[in-house]
Structures are given as C-alpha cells and as structure tokens.
Amino acid sequence: MIHEKKSMGKTIGILTGGGDCPGLNPAIRGVVMRAQDFGYQCVGLLEGWKGLVEGNTMPLTVADVKEIVVKGGTILGTSRTNPFKKGTEKQCVENFKKLGLDALVACGGEDTLGVAGKFFKEFKLSVVGVPKTMDNDLSATDFTFGFDTATTIAMDAVERLRDTGRSHRRIMVLEVMGRHAGWVAVYTAIAGAADWLCVPEEPVNVQKMCAHLKGAHARNKVAIVVASEAITIPGEKVEGEELDEFGHMLLKNRGVADRLATIIEKETKIETRSATIGHIQRGGGPTLFDRILGTRVGVKAAELIKEGKFGQMVALRGNEVVGVSLEEATAKLKTVPSDWLRFAEIFFK
C-alpha cells in the first residue's frame, strides 16, 4: 500500500535486504539520527526491495529508533527479492516517486547493493549503499557489520564443543556460515584455537587433515575442526541445488558438518560429532564493534545524501568511513587470500 508523502521536507527511504545480521538496527538509527540534523525525515521500506516493489512503508522517527541500537535483526524486515529478476524494476521507480522519496539508503550485501547500483546506473535513482554482511565478503570495505558478532558467537560455540568433546574423547566439527568466502571460518578457527580449518577457497585435503587430527587428539583428548558451509570435498559431487533470485546456490541442504564428521571418523577411527551453528550466528544483539560500525556507516550514508554523492557505498578504510562507488563495491567478491590461510596454519600444531 502506498502512503503518500505529506511533508514538504526531504524524505529518505531506508531498506534492509538479503540475510539479516546484527548491526542493521544501529545502521538504521544512524541514518535517522543524522538525517534529522539536516531537516530530513525518514521512512522504512518493509522487507527489502519487496517494500519498494509493493510500496509498503513504516515511519522512522527519532523516537522509533532511539533504542534499537541494542537489538539484533532489522525492524524493517528483509527478503531476497530481486526486482530486476521479477521484472518489477519500473514499478520500483514509480513507487519511489509516489512515495515522494528524495533518496534511498539500501543496507545489504553484494546482491542488495548490486540492485542499488543498477537502479542508479539505469534509472538515475538517488541511492546510497550501506555494507551489511556477516560474510565480510565485500571487497571495497575492510569490514562489514555483522561479521564481528557472527564470529564471536561461532568462537563461543568452539569453546563449548571443546568441553563436551574432551569429556567424551571425540573429534568435533563445527560448520559456520560465510557462503563462498571463508572469513568467518578463518577468524573462528584462529581465535577459537581450532585444530583444522576447511574453507571454500581451497579443496579439503582429507588425508592431511585426518593425520593431523589424530595427532592433536592423542595429545589433547579432543580435536576441533571449523568448516565453512560451501567447502569442496574432493570426490564428492553437489548437484541439483536450488538457486535464489540472485542465482546463488542455497546451501542449507549441503550438510557439510555431517559429511566431514563421517569422513573423519572413518579415516581416524575416532568417534566424531558435528554441529551446525546456522542462523544462531545471525541473531541476538550486536557486539560493541558492530554497534559502532553500524552507527558510523548509517551516519555517513545520511551525510553522502546531504552532499549529493549518490551511487556510492559507505566503506570502512582503516579507521575512516568513506564513500566508494557502488560499482567498485560489488565488482568482486572478497575471498580469503592464501597468506591468511598460511597464517592460520601456524596455529595447527
């Protein structure tokens, strides 16, 4: 349902698309708070790009966002809607005008920001992007909010698995999210003192892994493997997986942890159990780092709008938040380079 604009001041629309993660609400708060300094009002588009397709909005006043910095998820809701896939992009442009929007802040990852970039390039919509992904796989920014919280939760899971694994003298496999970038797995493995790491960037060396795990288990009475959800296990074929609206494989049915546990137990003859942390990584209040980063990029998004710098995404470069082109931001997936993998191996003793 379209709610027509009544105010004569500038209006900023805000949407959150793709997978949710901690830090979205702080980002929404940052935009709204800074926009008020410029005399702008904000409205939320519900459930990502679907909100612009259908014209569904909610008001976003300072009172509405004052305390959401502590909350996980997104008060606006989200979806993986791709207007260009559904052929509703012109409807979005019409609704942009009907809603009286002067600018739009799109909070999301590679897919959501890719859509924002197309709207800017093809329809000249006044859009600004805010990078959100727990996968930390956007190449134009050093970190994305959601990553720190998700990895902190995964690190806690490793510690808990180690306790129960040692009690039963088992090898434990933890599957973490991250899609086709292994950043969550790498940070979790290093910070959680895991014994082995499996990431999408390199095929799993089963023989080397199992030999190492046998030695680690003999010394410590437990061994921990951290595996990213999109790894490749040599000799196994993955076929017929469902695709989302952006052409990405849905990884929910891969069962990486179970498959690895079966292989490890067969090769090592040591009882092995698996756990998948899944969407637990997405929920709960954001860490301090993600609250501050989400807030900073939200504020910067409002400032870019004030400066008329559209077609840009807010990026963290060192300790500074700056605007970079959406085209640059979505051009390449930021995967884990080999030097990070060799760094992690230092701690697999």
Residues identified as active-site:
135
SS3 label, residue 113: helix
Hey, what amino acid is at 292?
I
Angle (CA) 25-5-296 rounded to 5° is 25
Residue with tokens 């092995």: 272
Name residue 324's beta-bridge partners. Answer: 313
Q: Spell out a b/e string for 137-167, using b for 16 or more CB atoms within 10 Å of the CB, else e.
A: bbebbebbbbbbbbbbbbbebbeebbeebbe
SS3 label, residue 317: strand
**β-bridge pairing 171-176 and 223-228:** parallel
Angle (CA) 27-333-326 rounded to 5° is 50
CA 310 remoteness from chain centre: 23
**Are 294 and 145 contacting, i.e. CB atoms less than 8 angstroms apart?**
yes
**β-bridge pairing 272-276 and 171-176:** parallel
Q: Residue 184 has which token pair? A: 């969550």
**Are 315 and 329 contacting, i.e. CB atoms less than 8 angstroms apart?**
yes
- Closest by CA to 348, choosing from 221, 160, 194, 183, is 194
**Are 176 and 184 contacting, i.e. CB atoms less than 8 angstroms apart?**
yes
**Are 173 and 195 contacting, i.e. CB atoms less than 8 angstroms apart?**
no
